[in-house]
Structure 1
């Protein structure tokens, strides 16, 4: 039987890079690869569609897939709440969708139709890393969002027909935090975008030239990315300081930090150390530029304190780059035996792992080979298939509760 599914796609038109936007883009891409009879309505928000939608809009719109723009005005604080709690539920009900998918942690607390919620993590309910220096108006906005999430997430999660999350680790955390049965929570892993791929030979040389021309980076470098304190870029800086101090390391340290206020804190930290001439900060970059940065790096370091999934290590692996990452939260589940695992609270341990990757060619080759195999195990097509299975299960579960056939 054909199911009509509505998907809240507001993050497709959001200015934020990565995070929820990567998930929604990946899910939409995966759904486009499937051949099923279900009908999909993608509800978009205000803002620009961006490069992703420019490339895929024609592929999405066909006989069983369409789009609807829910809001056309830009009032961030008001728009988000009004759209989620009033406008989208009303439109979905009017469109007679059988099921609504909220893919980004929050949704309507008084549902008009059955829904599935993707709850990426429960960090918003108790996040020690949410506060850092920023202009007061943005701080007020951050606290407002956090207060909204603390109220909405538990209610929406408990009222959802079923939850989706992104790792077995997070499934356990959600169950414990919200008191939900494990059988109500399905796991669908994330995956690297298809643009993240290994480069070799002339293509790798060209990528290194592009990195040099764009960012002034020549020679070997250690790469890390992160936009908030929980990503532990400070720990990478401390580990790099130890490497330069104790082993006279020649490699540069390249840090991609999209968030300007957080970047300011890190720049101030580096300025107090003798490594300041060897550390390069880069703002937010397009995904194609990130592919070059991954591919040309000697090692990618991601010692995050807490992840619901942790996509950057897989992206680096898909580009053929060895990875050092944390032994905490979901990251061991994601990387398996294809990365060096370290205690993120121990800069010395991070430094030793980086040095081993840079010093021993056999270890590096093993990590690259395992990383490529590991990254290939994750795909948005599989994620979409498992998500559709959740849709269908919820649809029949709801019909059974209503006593219809």
Structure 2
């Protein structure tokens, strides 16, 4: 079936999709969709997890389509190897060298593979794609490099801005991962709001199933975790604001320790100095390079999850915590209220006393904990993979129609 007839079939069968319970997975056509796979094929956290989860969910929900993942190279790792074993997900490496491939030469490969739509999963798309018959989508996760330029080097900041602004101008559609990110795109890049669609992220399905007690016990022993602990997950960098948790911990119930999971940056020295100053070395445990398969088990045994970041595009760790049935405390000022919902607790990212009070409030009330767990789990269903995946496929259909 030629591309034109596929699109007509697509348009006819998708009429009234949003107003009905019509099942997209029942469609009889086959689409060939391309993705910027640099992160999916090489990163084991963050954007790598996002990219693989998104493509894998589409491949499962709409198995008749073919999903081409374009990357200049591929890393050998269990997560990545498993991802590419799926029958309708295809790794595409450069045929004639990787220099400028993702930005320019990839267009030859997209045309050869008869790709109808290309999705740039992290802020960029090929430079001249707007001059081809291939439709394009770009996902913008955040514009933190413009909102908080001090967190980025001058050269990096300007490169990020050029790539993302250019992609927003040239793409047929922009996907923002939160309402806050959409507002930032409009403010900084003066983009027509109608061109931007908010489609939230989900988290890996492994966070959505409770581990057996025997597995949880093994994880506690493996990482020498305390029986009671507060959890924080994320890169140890200034924007994530770990120092505030350390400062608040001084007046938090001493029966609880703080467990921190994340890559350490130079900011870690600032945190270390604060820990030493407050005499909290014995109450804080730092974990690095945790296998992804163990992470849900560490979440599920935490007493409370704390995420006081100054600014985020969305906040996937909050989604992971809510799915894990953990009361969550986050910061005001960006989009974390979107991720955490009305029954999580929010404090200013500069309020030490407020954070300490909020943590103690949760830890000292079993009723509050159960209420936050139940309502948080109800709220987070709006980010469930099948729902988000259908929204994304509907976005593709509307672009191609």
| 1:383 matched residue in structure 2 | 388
| 1:53 matched residue in structure 2 | 80
Distance in 2 (CA, whole Å) between partners of 1:145 and 1:328 is 24
| 2:9 matched residue in structure 1 | none
- Which of 373, 376, 396 matches 1:371? 376
Q: Residue 21 in 1 paired to residue 48 in 2? A: yes
Tell me if the contact between 2:50 and 2:203 (Cα under 8 Å) persists in the aligned partners: no
Distance 1:364 1:268, change over 3 A: same
Distance in 1 (CA, whole Å) between partners of 2:283 and 2:208 is 28
The alpha-carbon deviation at position 198 of structure 1 amounts to: 5.4
Q: Residue 186 in 1 paired to residue 210 in 2? A: no
SS at match of 1:254: strand
* Runs of at least 5 residues in structure 1 that lack an aligned partner in the other structure: 74-78, 132-141, 397-405
| 2:106 matched residue in structure 1 | 88
Distance in 2 (CA, whole Å) between partners of 1:369 and 1:215 is 28
Tell me if the contact between 2:244 and 2:352 (Cα under 8 Å) persists in the aligned partners: yes
* Runs of at least 5 residues in structure 2 that lack an aligned partner in the other structure: 1-5, 7-29
The alpha-carbon deviation at position 36 of structure 1 amounts to: 6.2
| 1:66 matched residue in structure 2 | 90
| 1:9 matched residue in structure 2 | 37
Distance 1:55 1:47, change over 3 A: closer
| 2:138 matched residue in structure 1 | 117
Distance 1:15 1:58, change over 3 A: closer
SS at match of 2:100: helix
Distance 1:208 1:356, change over 3 A: farther
| 1:101 matched residue in structure 2 | 119
| 1:332 matched residue in structure 2 | 337
The alpha-carbon deviation at position 204 of structure 1 amounts to: 3.7
The alpha-carbon deviation at position 106 of structure 1 amounts to: 1.7
Tell me if the contact between 1:30 and 1:382 (Cα under 8 Å) persists in the aligned partners: no
SS at match of 1:196: helix
SS at match of 1:11: coil
1:4-403 alignment runs, 5 A limit: 4-18=32-46, 20-35=47-62, 37-59=64-86, 61-62=87-88, 65-70=89-94, 82-111=100-129, 112=132, 113-128=134-149, 130-131=151-152, 144-197=155-208, 199=210, 203-204=212-213, 206-211=215-220, 213-227=221-235, 228-243=237-252, 249-396=254-401
Distance in 2 (CA, whole Å) between partners of 1:41 and 1:47 is 14
- CA deviations 1:238-264 (Å, max 9, x no partner) are 111232xxxx52211111121343334
- CA deviations 1:151-197 (Å, max 9, x no partner) are 22111111111101111221122112111111101111111211013
Q: When the two structures are superposed, what TM-score results if normalisation uses the length of structure 1? A: 0.84
The alpha-carbon deviation at position 144 of structure 1 amounts to: 4.2
Distance in 2 (CA, whole Å) between partners of 1:82 and 1:71 is 13
- CA deviations 1:18-70 (Å, max 9, x no partner) are 2x1122111112112223654432213313153233334332x24xx533123
Tell me if the contact between 1:198 and 1:295 (Cα under 8 Å) persists in the aligned partners: no
The alpha-carbon deviation at position 7 of structure 1 amounts to: 1.1
| 2:25 matched residue in structure 1 | none
Tell me if the contact between 1:204 and 1:296 (Cα under 8 Å) persists in the aligned partners: no
Distance in 2 (CA, whole Å) between partners of 1:93 and 1:373 is 44
The alpha-carbon deviation at position 206 of structure 1 amounts to: 4.2
Distance in 1 (CA, whole Å) between partners of 2:56 and 2:90 is 14
Tell me if the contact between 1:309 and 1:330 (Cα under 8 Å) persists in the aligned partners: yes
Distance in 2 (CA, whole Å) between partners of 1:235 and 1:348 is 10
- CA deviations 1:95-139 (Å, max 9, x no partner) are 3322211111122232244311111111223434525xxxxxxxx
Poorly superposed stretches of 4+, deviation over 4 Å = none
Calculate the aligned-residue CA RMSD, in Å. 2.3
Distance 1:168 1:297, change over 3 A: same
The alpha-carbon deviation at position 72 of structure 1 amounts to: 9.8
Distance in 1 (CA, whole Å) between partners of 2:95 and 2:287 is 33
Length, aligned pairs only: 369
Distance in 2 (CA, whole Å) between partners of 1:354 and 1:306 is 20
